[in-house]
Copies of this chain bind each other. A is one copy, B any other.
Amino acid sequence: MVDAAEVLAGDARGVARALTLVERGGREAEELLGALRGRLGHARTVGITGAPGVGKSTLVQALGIALLHGGARVAVLAVDPSSPFSGGALLGDRVRMPDFLERGGVVRSMATRGALGGLAVAASDALDVLDAAGFDWILVETVGVGQDEVEIAGEVETVVLVTVAGLGDDVQAAKAGVMEIADIFAVNKADRPGAEGQVAAIEGALAMAPAGSWRPPVIPTSATTGEGVARLATAIADHQRFLEGPGLREEARRRRARRRVERLVAALVRERIGGAQRAAFAAVLDEVGRGLLDPYAAARRLLRGIGEGEG
């Protein structure tokens, strides 16, 4: 059993059990999240995203340690399947951030996509659990290539996009949906040849974009030497201060709420097609499979049936 009071008290084992529960999903998870409602909004949330191989995990660790130094409580949520925190089993490459852990940081990985609504729903619920547990900072590591991961980045207040020089793909991937969600750019492995050019290229691309009220800084970092990590932490704090502007945080919360509910509705629909009303839907799906019915027409027909099934 998971006790909401234990989560709210910040009890480590209670929090761990709660995270397992929301990752799995289901009615009990829904009840827990309902019990935590009204106790949210303390945590500052930061997403760290970028292509595989740019060194996100090392940077997250360095950033986590920098934030801990101020006496804050810091949690890392790794939802990147290529992260050593989450994906290590195959290569025997388990959690590799001893420095952060020794200093009291908390790391949690999520890889399950089986829960209702998949990874984005589970990650969003996990953010609520960690927030209710009293963490001051939650760092969410995602891989910035797929839509799912872009969606998770949209769940946090501050998005850091990590790139490296010489990974042309990365800038291109950034273009297709990730670049516009970044509040801060980190050009990692800053000692590599071409890092300066990469900084200039991103600044150039940003200069062409319509100027918003927040101007994303581009920061050269080296997670291994520590270069730029303090500057990155400062940029995050700056962006958090920026969010204190009138109505900004409220607007962000409303946007996040909308995305979450949309995802959950879609997930419920999916569950219903495969579950309770399966028999009624099977005939329609069979017609589509045999090319006798349009998938669009089928979708509209099923949607009529679904609302009726929600008692």
Partner-B contacts on A (CB < 8 A): 30, 33-34, 37-38, 40-41, 51-53, 81-84, 86-91, 93, 111, 113, 118-119, 124, 143, 145-150, 167-173, 175-177, 205, 250, 253-258, 260-262, 264-270, 273-274, 284-286, 288-300, 302-310
Q: Is the CB of A173 within 8 A of B87?
A: yes
Q: Which of B34, B52, B89, B307 contacts A296 (CB 8 A)?
A: B34
Q: Is the CB of B264 within 8 A of A176?
A: no
Q: Which of B171, B258, B268, B300 contacts A303 (CB 8 A)?
A: B268
What is the interface of chain A mostly: helix, strand, loop, or mixed? helix
Q: Which of B172, B175, B261, B295 contacts A264 (CB 8 A)?
A: B295
Copies in the assembly, this chain: 2
Q: Which of B90, B254, B269 contacts A171 (CB 8 A)?
A: B90
Q: What is the CA–CA distance of A293 and B40 in the complex, to the nearest angstrom?
A: 12
CB-CB < 8 A to A83: which residues of B? 172
A182 to B: closest C-beta gap in Å: 14
Q: Is the CB of A302 within 8 A of B265?
A: yes
Q: What residue in chain B is nearest A177 (Cβ atoms)? A: B113
Q: Which of B175, B261, B297 contacts A90 (CB 8 A)?
A: B175
Q: Is the CB of A81 within 8 A of B294?
A: no
Q: What is the CA–CA distance of A239 and B34 in the complex, to the nearest angstrom?
A: 49
Q: What residue in chain B is nearest A142 (Cβ atoms)? A: B146
Contacts A265-B273, A268-B300, A307-B308 given; does A145 touch B147 at CB 8 Å? no
Contacts A303-B268, A307-B310 given; does A87 touch B172 at CB 8 Å? yes
CB-CB < 8 A to A30: which residues of B? 294, 296-297
Q: What is the CA–CA distance of A287 and B267 in the complex, to the nearest angstrom?
A: 20
CB-CB < 8 A to A41: which residues of B? 291
Q: What is the CA–CA distance of A84 and B262 in the complex, to the nearest angstrom?
A: 33
Q: What is the CA–CA distance of A175 and B303 in the complex, to the nearest angstrom?
A: 34
Q: What is the CA–CA distance of A110 and B285 in the complex, to the nearest angstrom?
A: 27
Q: Is the CB of B265 within 8 A of A269?
A: yes
Q: What residue in chain B is nearest A294 (Cβ atoms)? A: B34
Q: Is the CB of B175 within 8 A of A81?
A: yes
